[in-house]
């Protein structure tokens, strides 16, 4: 099958022929229909987070089940599915205590001495985040997929696989925003826009979009932002504090930089919470004024929106189909797999909300 392979870090992806194995007892073979181009892949391509190579990247996808292993119970061939990197084992402490997004994943991967799921030229190819979506097929553990309704378009369903769930989940599950509360979102890319619309769906009062690029702040209004702060035109913290008379209930950081995480903490009012969604590069430290902890301010991380994706994703599908969740507006470009590097180049310019790679146009 055709797949986009990362061979060197830093480096670009190469379209190559990759062999995919047949499903083990609890594995599912998926015909990939669409895969979103998420910023996290770029972090790995640029070496900000380590990953072994060669690897097939991609982790935000939807498709149709082709085949299942003997012990698979959740899906059958023909089912439409969204994949999620928050593959859960179902029996570790995190899974049992209701936090499956933090699962240690010890038993959802093939043992090291077993044949690899992906290979090329007789050598193993690493599977990215247990998924590897930039490929015509995926072979994953059944707990990495959720069945969805057949009337959901799969190119938009793919976005729910990472960005949408990360943004909405950070609001609904990690921060638990209450109706009427004030919210600021720093960074209006794919994740930040979903954070904004999560706040709108949750019934937040004022929703302040903060970005360096004025056009992205404007786009955020489409998703539910009530106010915009263009960070390149003055100190965004001072502006948010002034607009709100002392800060917001919830500030979200959706970029992945220490400086913006600190800004998020500074934008939170007394008793407020800063939630960091972005991936801050390894080795960077976030520091906050200790005295502000006396005001019961909180700084917390959010991993994939603290999701319980088997429950969350079908709900998000319903929200899209009943008009509350905007997904069409998130997609700024559709491209074939061969244009994956162009999609990342567009992302680097900062102008693109989301590119979607469509691997099977006929199945969307």
Instruction: Report the interface residues with Zn ion, using CB under 5 A.
Output: 38, 40, 88-89, 92, 95, 103, 162
Backbone angles phi, psi at 211, to 5 degrees: -155, 155
User: Shortest Cβ distance from residue 150 to Zn ion (Å)?
Assistant: 25
Taking the least distance from each CB to Zn ion, the nearer of 40 and 181 is 40
Q: Please give the structure tokens belonging to residue 220.
A: 């955020």
SS3 content of the chain, % helix, strand, coil (to 5): 35, 25, 40
Taking the least distance from each CB to Zn ion, the nearer of 135 and 237 is 135
Taking the least distance from each CB to Zn ion, the nearer of 102 and 120 is 102
3-state secondary structure of 128: helix
Is 162 considered catalytic here? Answer: yes
Query: Is it true that the peptide bond before 54 is cis, omega within 30 degrees of 0?
Result: yes
User: Shortest Cβ distance from residue 92 to Zn ion (Å)?
Assistant: 3
Backbone angles phi, psi at 30, to 5 degrees: -115, 135
Is 59 considered catalytic here? Answer: yes
CA angle in degrees (0–180, nearest 5) for 42-125-65:
85
User: Shortest Cβ distance from residue 238 to Zn ion (Å)?
Assistant: 32
List C-alpha distances in Å: 66 to 69, 80, 155: 11, 10, 18
User: Shortest Cβ distance from residue 120 to Zn ion (Å)?
Assistant: 24
Taking the least distance from each CB to Zn ion, the nearer of 282 and 291 is 282
Q: Which of 89, 95, 103, 162 is catalytic?
A: 162
Where do runs of H (alpha helix) occur along 107-152?
Answer: none
Q: Which of 38, 89, 103, 195 is catalytic?
A: 38
Longest Cα–Cα distance in the chain = 63
Q: Which of 43, 80, 141, 250 is catalytic?
A: 43
Q: Which of 31, 39, 40, 188 is catalytic?
A: 40
Is 40 considered catalytic here? Answer: yes
Residues known to be catalytic: 38, 40, 43, 59, 162
């Amino acid at each position: 099958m055709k797949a986009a392979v990362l061979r060197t870090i830093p480096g670009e992806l190469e379209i190559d022929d990759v062999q995919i194995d047949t499903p083990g007892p609890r594995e599912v073979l998926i015909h990939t229909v669409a895969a979103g181009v998420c910023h996290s892949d770029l972090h790995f391509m640029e070496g900000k987070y380590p990953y072994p190579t060669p690897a097939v990247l991609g982790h935000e996808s939807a498709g149709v089940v082709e085949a299942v292993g003997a012990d698979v119970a959740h899906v059958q061939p023909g089912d439409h599915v969204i994949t999620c990197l928050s593959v859960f084992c179902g029996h570790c402490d995190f899974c049992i205590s209701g936090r499956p997004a933090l699962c240690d994943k010890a038993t959802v991967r093939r043992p090291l001495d077993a044949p690899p799921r992906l290979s090329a030229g007789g050598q193993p190819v690493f599977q990215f985040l247990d998924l590897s979506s930039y490929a015509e097929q995926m072979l994953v553990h059944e707990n990495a997929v959720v069945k969805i309704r057949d009337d959901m378009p799969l190119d938009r369903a793919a976005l729910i696989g990472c960005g949408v769930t990360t943004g909405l989940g950070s609001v609904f599950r990690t921060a638990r925003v209450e109706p009427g509360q004030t919210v600021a979102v720093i960074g209006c890319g794919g994740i930040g826009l979903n954070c904004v619309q999560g706040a709108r769906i949750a019934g937040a009062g004022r929703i302040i979009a903060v970005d360096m690029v004025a056009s992205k702040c404007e786009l955020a209004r489409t998703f539910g932002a009530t106010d915009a702060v263009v960070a390149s035109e003055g100190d965004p913290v001072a502006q948010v504090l002034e607009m709100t008379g002392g800060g917001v209930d919830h500030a979200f950081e959706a970029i992945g930089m220490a400086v913006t995480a600190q800004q998020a903490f500074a934008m939170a009012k007394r008793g407020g919470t800063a939630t960091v969604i972005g991936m801050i590069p390894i080795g960077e430290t976030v520091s906050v004024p200790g005295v502000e902890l006396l005001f019961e301010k909180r700084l917390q991380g959010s991993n994939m929106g603290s999701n319980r994706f088997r429950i969350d994703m079908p709900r998000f599908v319903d929200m899209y189909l009943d008009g509350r969740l905007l997904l069409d507006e998130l997609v700024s470009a559709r491209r074939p797999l061969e244009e994956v590097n162009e999609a990342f180049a567009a992302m680097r310019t900062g102008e693109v909300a989301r590119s979607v790679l469509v691997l099977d146009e006929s199945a969307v």
